[in-house]
Structures are given as structure tokens and as C-alpha cells.
Amino acid sequence: MAGTTPEPAADVRATLHNVEVLGGRHLKRRIIETMIDGSFEKPEIDAGLACIKPGDRVIEMGAGSGTVGAILTKNISEVQILSFEANPNLLPAINALYEHNGLSDRNTVRNNAVVAGEDAPETINFYVRKNFLGSRVFAENNEPETQMVQVETVQYETLRKEFPHNVLMLDIEGAELDFLRAADLSDVDLVIIELHRKVYHRPGMQECKRAFASQGFILDAANSKRSVFTYKKQNRIDAA
């Protein structure tokens, strides 16, 4: 129509597995470079694309930029993902990413931290770092640019009722150990998780692995790489 001003073109900085990633203050040049060369969160993405099936319902703890979740729904049909991200600064960019790629009907993100256990707090302190990939629930020494925010928690038991699901993806920078100590994963048959040995060391790593074994999970070594581990229950292995 004459006299109308065309909308500005979207600021697409990279395309990864058919997802157009928009620019933003959270995406530093080095992160964009890893998206362009395909190394960004590669173990998680590879495991998700290899193991998640059409129709799966996924809870993602630690959405980050939203790119991993967007890739999964973009490339696997009928997948629904409810994501949680404790860094409030990332929510507008995540939602913009979903909307730009036409995924808002299958990807939802909430600004909460997921906890398990009756003694879990109603709020937690979350430490936002300059590089969003390293933001976490505990502070490290000599980090003057870290910003502390208080985040409301949501009980995993509540989520089991509100959003029935069979897949978990966790990248929560060390908080996974406390979660696994108390979470009932009887409804879940696939977990893709990044473990953080530097946070809880060898004993914590062993405790995480025992927690999975005690709930009937088996390590899928073929889809585990570096610090990212894939665990499946026997019914999922049999159905492959």
C-alpha cells in the first residue's frame, strides 16, 4: 500500500539447524561464531535431535538463549517444550526467537527455577554473569560483573501435574545434583543432562549417576559426549 513504511528486516546473525538466531546484547561475537560454525551447544543439540521423538513432551531446565529448544521443535514434529530460565534478562530475546521462527505455539518459557523436595526454597538467588552461559545459582569469587537476582521457584511435582512430560533436558550449571536427589522421574523415559564436575567433583558425579540408576535409567553412551550425558529407560530403548 502506498505510503506505508516497510518493517525493518529481522537482525538474523546465524542460522543453525534451520533456526534463524536473532541478534541481541546477550549474544557476544564469540557465541555467534560458534553458532555459525555449528559448535554451539553441539553435544546437547546432537543428543536431542538423535533421541527426542515426534510427539514427545519436554521440560527444559536452563533455556539459555532459547536456541536449543527452538532447534528441537523446528526439526522434530509435534514436540512440545516447556522451558525454564532463571535469568530474567533473557526472556524477551527467547520469546522473540520463538516468534520469529514460528514456534510460539510449541515453545513456552517461564522465568522460574525448578526445584524438587519438600524443603526446597520458594525463591533462590541467581547470579547473572556477563556471559549468560555461565550464570548459575551460586556465586564465584572475583566476579565483579555478576548481578544477583531473586527468582521464584516452581516445584517439579507441580509441573508433573500441570505439564505431563516424558523428557527432561537439564543444563543448570551445577544445580542438577540437588534436583536429582529429590525428583521423582517415574514419568520420564529420557534425560539429556550436562553434569558439572567442577561444581560437585567426583563424589557428586557418582551420586548423579547413582540417582539415575536407582530410577531405572541406563546410560546411552552413543549419545553422550564430554560433559553431556543421555539416559534412557528400558521401554524407550526397546521402542527404538
From first to last of its 240 residues, the chain has per-residue pLDDT tens of 445 555 556 799 999 999 999 998 888 899 999 999 999 999 999 999 999 999 999 999 999 999 999 999 999 999 999 999 999 999 999 999 999 999 999 999 999 999 999 999 999 988 887 655 556 565 565 555 678 889 999 999 999 999 999 999 999 988 899 999 999 999 999 999 999 998 899 999 999 999 999 999 999 999 999 999 999 999 999 998
Coil, strand or helix: which one is 23? coil
Question: Closest Cα to residue 139, out of 112, 173, 176?
Answer: 173
The cell numbers describing 232, all together, are 534412557
> Could you tell me which residues come within 8 angstroms of residue 111 by beta carbon, excluding any fewer than 6 positions away?
84, 85, 86, 88, 91, 151, 152
Cell of 184: 521423582
- 168 sits in which H/E element: strand 167-170
Has residue 68 been placed in a domain? Answer: yes
Domain count, the chain: 1
Give domain status of residue 12, yes or no.
Answer: no
Domain membership flag for residue 87:
yes
pLDDT value for 138: 59
**196-231 burial, b for 16+ CB within 10 Å, e for fewer?**
beebbeeebbeebbebbeebebeebeebbeeebbbb
pTM, rounded to two decimals: 0.91
User: Are the beta carbons of 163 and 59 closer than 8 angstroms?
Assistant: yes
202 lies in some domain:
yes
Query: Would 195 be classed as within a structural domain?
Result: yes
Q: Please tell me the predicted confidence (pLDDT) of residue 1.
A: 47
Q: What is the pLDDT of residue 159?
A: 98
3-state secondary structure of 209: helix
The CA-CA-CA angle for residues 50, 163, 24, to 5°, reads 65
Q: Is residue 16 assigned to a domain?
A: no
Domain of residue 186, residue span = 40-239
- Per-residue pLDDT reduced to its tens digit, 88-140: 999 999 999 999 999 999 999 999 999 999 999 999 988 887 655 556 565 56
In a domain, 27, yes or no: no
pLDDT computed for residue 10 by the predictor: 77
Under 8 Å between Cβ of 17 and 75: yes
For residue 123, what is the domain's CATH number?
3.40.50.150
Buried b / exposed e along 124-148 (16+ C-beta atoms within 10 A): bebbbbeebbebbbeeeeeeeeeee
The answer to whether position 127 is within a domain reads yes
Distance CA 15, CA 31 (A): 13
Kindly calculate the radius of gyration of the chain based on its CA atoms and give it in whole angstroms: 18
- What strands lie across the sheet with 228-233, from one edge to the other? 107-110, 80-84, 57-61, 167-170, 190-194, 228-233, 217-219
